[in-house]
Structure 1
């Protein structure tokens, strides 16, 4: 179980994980290109990388990848900016960083369905949260879903008593009754249910599917794709191939991810069940018909409204390498 995959602020990078399988020889007869790839050790963050290791996809595309674990997305964006990392992974709560020009998005990795607004037993509506203590991990998808839920009820954060805290503290605070409600996600909610089995789920991601999706993405620095197009394409080929394996054999992917992240397979499976994952061809279609751009535009608007964007907002067409993702599939 990961408690920080959606965390946007705080935390420290963990020590680098074991290097990925060494590559021998490059695609097209060239040499091997060494890259560093950051990830958060949960299913969303690690599953494609676990497949790439197991299936030899790095070597197949002329790459040698060294994997490094991080506790959150912004630390990876920072490392990308300083050149200490080549590629990484961020959750939806950190998407304001590409929209602020801090990174380029290589591809959507999946769409999250794990977030909820939960409340103590007896609180059976969003309107009933007025004046109540609501725990919010700021800058996360938990924060996002609380605000979306309140807006849907004609309310805002000003109508509740916001209590900012990190995700692990949300679990203990809700379980002990210190707060009335919270914005949090599975599988952490499973932990809370052990103490408060009859908690109430007031809102979930799917309630807002018509206005907001919660994509997690693979990223690189703002200048890397232009300066290293061949390597970027090679990485995208790896990711596309791994996407197809994940979509076709989720059970094996869970096992591989559990091995890479050193977690219990049952917990990883529960984590995987709260996401939607696409084949490369399915993503090609979603890119081609403008669906992905619509998702990202909605996120841009959300972050603008909430004052998260730094400087001028960068449009999705300018921070997502749509053309390279498609080209990598040819």
Structure 2
């Protein structure tokens, strides 16, 4: 009888303990984009068990770009999301909060058909670009550097996959787009011209991709800290195990490793410790402020908020 009571008591304790552990797990919905830097953190976190390690259960949803994810955040169907630097105007205009930097990307390009050899040569030409993305931003920066305006070219808004088709079929003369789409286009037009890259503007301007949170979820400090912890572990794993990170991401997306491997080399990858220091030193805020001001110059937003309003750096640096 005594032994039975002990067993029952132990079972009761285990049940209470299990319930407590379950209560400690927070459910989140996170968006990602199906390219290397848009997916690798989510893929690594899933494969390496980082969600559970930090008390989270994540429902992952794929999107084609950052602005659509911000729409989902504001509609309440998403809690966290990944955006490239081209979508930073959305947090800078008060539509989300940034919680962490992902990578400093150099995947964006302004590409042109053979025979077009400079940005200046784009005058009057048809240029396809996904609006509000990093490709859009690089195109605008490149035009400005060449002493040109957006009105000097014929801008044709289109989604990334349409850019590939339109460029390959000669319907557009140039595009503001990024890898791996550039690689896909190169297979059809191997002698295309790369007129401009993010790296042309470094170090004055950095192009950080980042993770954001909805305004509704921004008050949940403990959950944000958990998500930050997952992101930090994942970016450090990705930095320390580049080939394995590519393999994990390719398996997650069910795509060949080759294009992702090429994309993975087109970025600077600070460690989480470096990003914590850069945050404390104000460097990360300066990157965001610079990009926000650029978007104001481009007329994308009127009154950009300072990074101190939309970057939750204190939580990241803790």
Q: TM-score range by the shorter chain?
A: 0.7 to 0.9
- Decide which moves more: 196-205 or 270-279: 270-279
- 1:195 corresponds in structure 2 to 188
- 1:267 corresponds in structure 2 to 259
**Gaps spanning 5+ residues in structure 1: where?**
1-23
- 2:55 corresponds in structure 1 to 62
- 1:317 corresponds in structure 2 to 308
Question: Residues 201-220 of structure 1: matches in 2 within 5 Å?
Answer: 201-220=194-213
Q: Of the two, which has the highest radius of gyration?
A: 2
Say if 1:56 and 1:165 are closer, same or farther in 2 by CA, change over 3 A.
closer
Query: Partner of 2:304: helix, strand, or coil?
Result: coil
- Aligned CA RMSD, in angstroms, stands at 2.2
Contact 1:26-1:60 within 8 A present in 2 as well: no
**Distance in 2 separating the partners of 1:109 and 1:155:** 31
Which runs of structure 1 show a deviation greater than 3 angstroms over 4 or more consecutive aligned residues? Answer: 24-30
Q: Does 1:306 align with 2:298?
A: yes
- 1:230 corresponds in structure 2 to 222
Question: Residues 31-110 of structure 1: matches in 2 within 5 Å?
Answer: 31-110=24-103
1:26 to partner: Cα distance: 9.9
Contact 1:244-1:280 within 8 A present in 2 as well: yes
- 2:147 corresponds in structure 1 to 154
**Distance in 2 separating the partners of 1:80 and 1:110:** 22
1:180 to partner: Cα distance: 2.4
1:73 to partner: Cα distance: 1.8
Contact 1:35-1:86 within 8 A present in 2 as well: yes
**Gaps spanning 5+ residues in structure 2: where?**
1-16
Query: Partner of 1:304: helix, strand, or coil?
Result: helix
**Distance in 1 separating the partners of 2:288 and 2:190:** 35
Contact 1:167-1:184 within 8 A present in 2 as well: yes
Query: Partner of 1:225: helix, strand, or coil?
Result: coil
1:319 to partner: Cα distance: 0.6
Say if 1:29 and 1:197 are closer, same or farther in 2 by CA, change over 3 A.
closer
- What is the aligned length? 302
Say if 1:125 and 1:27 are closer, same or farther in 2 by CA, change over 3 A.
farther
Higher helix share: 2
Contact 2:246-2:260 within 8 A present in 1 as well: yes
Contact 1:25-1:31 within 8 A present in 2 as well: no
